[in-house]
Structure 1
Amino acid sequence: MNLSRDPDVPDLSLSPGALQGLRVIEMGQLIAGPFAGKTLGEFGADVVKIEPPGAGDPLRNWRLLQDGTSVWWQVQSRNKRSVALDLRSEEGQDIARRLIAEADVLIENFRPGTLEGWGMGYEALSERNPGLVMLRISGYGQTGPYRDLPGFGAIGEAMGGLRHLTGEPDRVPVRCGISIGDTLAALHGTIGVLTALYHRKVNGGRGQVIDVALNEAVFNVMESLVPEYSAFGAVREAAGSALPGIAPSNAYRCADGYVLVAGNGDSIFRRLMQTIGRDDLGADPALANNAGRVARVAELDQAIEAWTLPQPVATVLGTLGEARVPAGKVYTAKDIAEDPHYRARDMLLRQHTRDGHEIEVPGVVPKLMGTPGTVRSSAPGLGDDTDAVLGELGFTAAGIAALRERKVVA
């Protein structure tokens, strides 16, 4: 599926996945739970996704659709098998229990208490499967006074402190452009799953619950936000494109766009000043360290932009690259798709959808040299694998047909 590959690099795309043999049941929908399932699936886990008959996961219909199916779905659900199962019926719940009894991992992102209401809380499930690792992603976690409140990624970003820092000073807080709260929760959940599996295998431990709250996943990456408040009473505020307390590091206007320049290392700063023809600033002892530069950040930003503004982005990047000053263009989707570095590192793959289309999709991250992640199968249609998965549980064709007739499965 790779669009480009260095012929001198061994093709490891057919290597056994690092998680081969791991069985995952995914009950999540939309972003957080399914992103965790996607990540495990890319490294070889057998991910069985349970979806409600009829509509399936709402993500199938989010954003831009191709022949009625979201292209986002094609990425989020690759390497998964779809079982259309009515979890609100007793028969459906019983089938789910049987699937979970043979699984290593269960992923769910329902509101807390939903599974318990179906008789599928962790205590009940672990009686049949003591080794079960259960990832639970929710707005505010499984405990605490907010546990029953509905929570989406956007709310987690706000409560986690991120939204307060996005945007320009004294302007309305803005989102970062993607559902970062959901994805951060998924990545923290994946770390938790792998940690619990290691404990189970190496230390002989039982399975356990990983409780991930959207707001806590965001809060965990908020750097020194609370320590600064605790020590100094300082509340970090929005700073636009600048990196507060680090200078110079900002976005600067060019003749045809913007360029990001990170000239905040001491030696990098001197090279940057020499490059823009401001040796006076580079040699100024008051600017030899970050504290001094922060005190005069407005002056430095003005000097840098006076140099970048008359020039096109490409010229600025070429000059700074030769001077070994970190700088970058603000990429659009078009820029990414046309960038040779993305292609050289297999970060743009050509994926065939089950309805006959071919689209470019992101590659797999992180890159394991011995057991790399792969795209083994395209995203399934709703219930594509119902018969196969139930057959593995011992259901006969007649039994599956009877379940379908009763609308337990589809």
Structure 2
Amino acid sequence: MGILAGLRVVEVSAFVAAPSAGLALAQMGAEVIRIDDIRGGLDYRRWPVTEDNTSLFWQGLNKSKRSVAIDIRRPEGRELARSIICASGEDAGILLTNFPPKGWLDYDSLREARQDLIQLTVMGNRHGDSAVDYTVNPALGVPMFTGPEDHVGPVNSVLPAWDCITGQMAVSGLLAAERHRSRTGEGQHIKLALEDVAMATMGTLGFIAEAELGFDRERSGNYLYGAFGRDFVSADGVQFMLVGLTPKQWRGLCSATELETKMEQLAHARGLDFSREGDRYEARKEIAALIQPWAASRKIGEIDAAFSAQNVCWGRYQSTQEMVLNDPACSAENPLFVHREQAGIGEMLMPGSPLEFTGLDRKDVTGAPGLGEHTDQVLSELLQLSSGEIGRLHDQKLVSSG
């Protein structure tokens, strides 16, 4: 039993933002029912895939959900889907989607069947146009300060940060609307634009104010902007990131490397105060030049011991495969993970919710459903259809159970 047990959410979605919101809700115990196109949705074969073209992307984003497969291209299929969305239940009547809120997903039309409907629609921008991280970031200027210091031209990020943040904001929006409904009985149509999430984040973190003051953020390569942090290589060739962001981290770094006196001399020579993080950034290259010989003359085991003794903030670089093979944090030693069987793939290491609630055990992790795996069950439970009625829908090829 998760903390959201009893809550029912219907998800009509593809790609990252909306499915990640549904995943987070499902992993907290909500019943999340996907309405999937009978042929598989837009992201059903999204890369990465196995050798037989099973999408690891789709499987990862849809764990712990239920799937109902309907031919939503046909009017009868859309009406069936609408009935599932608006099915009765005090903790039901919640729709999560990133498809345009028109036609069968029009909020006002759906409200005719359920007045207290809560619908959250993830959009590209506030006008409802299509957008993804790779098109939003260029407008924000982020690719122009990403990458090596001497690079000319944009450098795209491979992490869909705005999608991930938008997904978590969608969770907040739905739960806030559900709380409001529990107090007032009123439904909501919440609109959440990927571009607005990105713009709001840029404003919150000071990027917009910086630009208003006439500054363009500089490229800082592998340096941490605004404080001290950079990558180094040990004597045995291990690359690691070292950070001195807070005063405590900075003191630990200086003590572990035995460079306190030289750092004080450098600060005095530059007329800077290294107790201030911005001053450490101003002298970042000179600071790195002092640390580099220390790192290059020691093997990683010695560096690890020195850093551990002073609680230094640092981390080794490793490939994703190295992480999976060797890192205890990415294994069943971490309560976040369990090994579970995933249909079509085999046993996989699956993460649950990162949230830990002291009064509840972690909800068990289950794999993603097969396409339409729960069609008959949902039609029977939610819509009270008989086996004969469900059979006729199958005969009409309006639904599928996989």
Contact 2:253 2:310 in 1 (8 A): yes
Name the residue aligned to 1:305. Answer: 292
Alignment of 1:10-409 (within 5 A): 16-65=1-50, 67-102=52-87, 103-110=92-99, 112=100, 115-118=101-104, 120-141=105-126, 143=127, 147-148=128-129, 150-169=130-149, 170-201=151-182, 203-222=183-202, 223-230=205-212, 232-246=213-227, 248-255=228-235, 256-284=237-265, 285=268, 286-290=272-276, 291-337=278-324, 338-342=326-330, 343-355=332-344, 357-392=346-381, 393-409=383-399
CA distance, structure 1, for counterparts of residue 71 and residue 189 of structure 2: 24
Residue 134 (structure 1) shift? 1.1
* Change in 2 beyond 3 A, CA 1:346/1:335: farther
User: Do the aligned partners of 2:25 and 2:171 also contact (CA within 8 Å) in 1?
Assistant: yes
- SS in structure 2 of the partner of residue 50 of structure 1: strand
Deviates more, 1:271-280 or 1:78-87: 271-280
| Count of matched residue positions in the alignment of Structure 1 and Structure 2 | 383
Worse-superposed segment, 331-340 or 27-36 = 331-340
2-structure distance, mates of 1:100, 1:28: 13
Q: Does structure 2 conserve the Cα–Cα contact (< 8 Å) formed by 1:133 and 1:196? A: yes
Change (3 A) 1:369 1:154: farther
1:8-34 deviation digits (Å, cap 9, x = unpaired): xxxxxxxx2111111111100122211
Residue identity (%): 28
Relative to structure 1, the CA distance from residue 237 to residue 296 in structure 2 (aligned partners, 3 Å threshold; closer, same or farther) is closer
Alpha carbons of structure 1 residues 183 and 295: separation in structure 2 relative to 1, 3 Å: closer
Q: Which amino acid in structure 2 is aligned with residue 339 of structure 1?
A: D
Q: 1:76 to 1:259 in 2, by over 3 A?
A: same
Q: C-alpha distance in 2, partners of 1:376/1:339?
A: 21
Is there any run of 5+ residues in structure 1 with no aligned partner, and where? 1-15
Q: Which residue of 2 aligns with 1:6?
A: none
TM-score after normalising by structure 1: 0.86
Structure 1 residue 205, shift from structure 2 partner: 4.7
Deviation for aligned residue 1:390: 1.1
Q: Is the 8 A contact 2:38 2:399 kept in 1?
A: yes
Amino acid at match of 1:168: P
Gaps of 5+ in 2: none
- Decide whether aligned partners of structure 1 residues 389 and 236 sit closer, same or farther in structure 2, where only a CA change above 3 A counts: same
Q: Residue 350 of structure 2 contacts residue 365 of structure 2 at CA under 8 Å; is this kept in 1?
A: no
> Which residue identity is paired with 1:382?
L
Partner of 1:391, secondary structure, is helix
Counterparts of 2:249 and 2:346, CA distance in 1: 47
Counterpart residue identity of residue 290, structure 2: A
In 2, Cα distance between equivalents of 1:86 and 1:200: 31
Q: In terms of mean alpha carbon deviation, does 387-396 or 375-384 score higher?
A: 375-384
